[in-house]
Copies of this chain bind each other. A is one copy, B any other.
Amino acid sequence: MPLSANNPDRKSWLHVDKNSDFPIQNIPFGVFLTRDDIITIGTRIGDTAIDLGALHQLGYFDGIPLTDDIFLQDTLNDFIADGRKTWRAVRNRIAHIFDSNNDALKQNKHHKEIVLFRLDEIEMQLPVQIGDYTDFYSSIEHATNVGSMFRDPDNALLPNWLHIPVGYHGRSSSIIPSGIPIHRPQGQTLPNEATEPVFGPSKLVDFELEMAFITTDANDLGEPIPIEEAEEYIFGLVLLNDWSARDIQKWEYVPLGPFLAKNFATSISPWIVTLDALEPYRVEGPKPLKPQLPYLQYKGKKSYDINLEVAIRPKGAKETVVSNSNFKYMYWNMVQQLAHHTVNGCPVNSGDMMGSGTISGPTPDSYGSMLELTWKGEKPIKMKDGSERKFINDNDTVIMRGYCEKDGTRIGFGEVSNKLLPVYKKK
C-alpha cells in the first residue's frame, strides 16, 4: 500500500498554522477524553482533535476491515495489533477525508460537531497500555559522558558498549502522559564522605531526553525477530522524559541497575507519530566504530533526523531552552535494538515501549540531561529569570519538543511537559 498520506502537496480544509507540528502529512494517533467524558481514539490536524470512533460510526472508514469498536477504546493496543496494512489504510483515509479537495465532511455541519474538538475541550491520555517498557542506553555521547564522570575518562565506554545495544527493563506503572505533575521522590542516598546511608528527598532530580518507539505483536516466546524484519513491528514514536534521581541512582544501581532512581515517573508525549509519517526524514546513522555481530548488521537508512529541545520553566517565569539535540545521533538504532531484544526469544507485544536512552549530541549544548549539561552540577545553567540550575527545582516544569523539517514540511511530536512538585505529603 502506498504512503499517499505523506503527499507533501496535500492541504487540509482544517486550519493549520505555518509552524504546526501537525499538518495533514502527520496524522498521529492518540487517546483522549472528550467534553462528554467519553474516551476515544483520535488524531490531530493543526489544533483540531478528531474523534476516530465517531468518524468510524458515521461510516467514513467503510471499506477498511475494522471491527466496530476498534476506536471506541481507551488504548490503541488493539488497533496497533491489527498491523501495518491497517494503520496505513486508516492514515491514508484520514488524509483523504480532510483533504482540501474533499467536501464530504467539510460540508456536513452535524458530522463536524460530532467529530471535531478544540484542544481545550479534550484531555490527552496515555495512548497505549504499556505491557513492558525497556530503556536502552544507545547514545555514545551520553555513555561516554557518564563513563568519564563516574569511572575513567580514558576508558569511558565499558567493554560491552560497542558490541551490545545495552538496555534494561523499566517500570510500566509509573509511565504518565504529558501534563501530569509528579512529586520529588524520597529515598536512600549515601552522602559524600558518609559511611551510612540517609533517607530523605532526592537532591538531584534530573530529566533524560529520550524518544521511544511503540511496537505491535511481533513474535512468540523463543522466536527471534531478524533485523531485516524489525521495522515491520514498529508502530510509531513519542518523546520520553526518563526522570531520574541521581543521588538515589548512585547508591542503589550496583549490581542490578537503576530501580527507584527511575521508577517514580517516566513521562511521554501523548501523540504517537507513525514510522510511516517519519519516512521522508530517514538519514544514515553513525558509522560503527567496531565490527558488529551479523544479527545486528542492517542495510539502508535506519536513523531519523528529528530535532529535539529541552526547556525548563520555573514557576511564574518564562522558559529557558537548556538543550538542543537530535535523534540521529543515536549510535544504536531501533531495528538493532529490536533485533537484540528478541535474539534470545523474548516476546514483544502490541503496546510495548522501548526508550532510546538519553540522546546526547557531540557538543556540550546538545547533552540530554542536567547531569551532563552542568557536568555533575559543576557548571550551573543560567536561566532567563536570573536564577541558576544544577538540577531540577521544585515547581519547575520540564518541557521536551521534537520535530522533523524538510522541503517545507514539518512533522512534529508536540511536547512532553511535566511539573516537579515538592515531596508528596499525605492528605
Stretch at the interface among A21-29, A105-113, A328-336, A346-354: A346-354
Q: Which of A201-259 contact B (CB under 8 A)?
A: 221-224, 245, 248, 251-259
Inter-chain CA distance A350–B172, complex, in Å, is 13
Which residue of B has the minimal Cβ distance to A220?
B424
Contacts of A294 in B (CB 8 A): 199
Residues of A contacting B: mostly: loop
List the B side residues contacting A424 at CB < 8 Å.
222-224, 345
Q: A263–B160 contact, CB under 8 A? A: no
Q: Contact partner of A252 among B164, B190, B258, CB < 8 A?
A: B164
Contact between B343 and A160, CB atoms less than 8 A apart: no
- Measured in the bound complex, the distance between the Cα atoms of B252 and A257 in whole Å is 12
Complex formed: what's the CA distance from A167 to B256 in Å?
7
| Residue A344 lies at the interface, judged by CB distance under 8 Å to chain B | yes
**Pair A343/B222 contact, Cβ less than 8 Å:** no
| B349 engages A173 (CB within 8 Å) | yes
Q: How far is the CA of A160 from the CA of B258 in the complex (A)?
A: 13
3 pairs of A and B residues whose beta carbons are closest in the complex: A257-B257, A185-B344, A169-B169
Residues of A within 8 A of B (CB): 131-132, 137, 158-160, 163-164, 166-174, 176, 180, 182-183, 185-188, 190, 196-199, 221-224, 245, 248, 251-260, 263-265, 293-295, 340-341, 343-349, 352, 424, 426
Task: A167-B256, A173-B352 given; name 17 further pairs at CB < 8 Å.
Answer: A131-B172, A160-B190, A167-B259, A168-B169, A173-B348, A173-B349, A180-B221, A182-B221, A182-B345, A183-B222, A186-B345, A199-B293, A222-B264, A224-B424, A253-B256, A253-B257, A264-B346
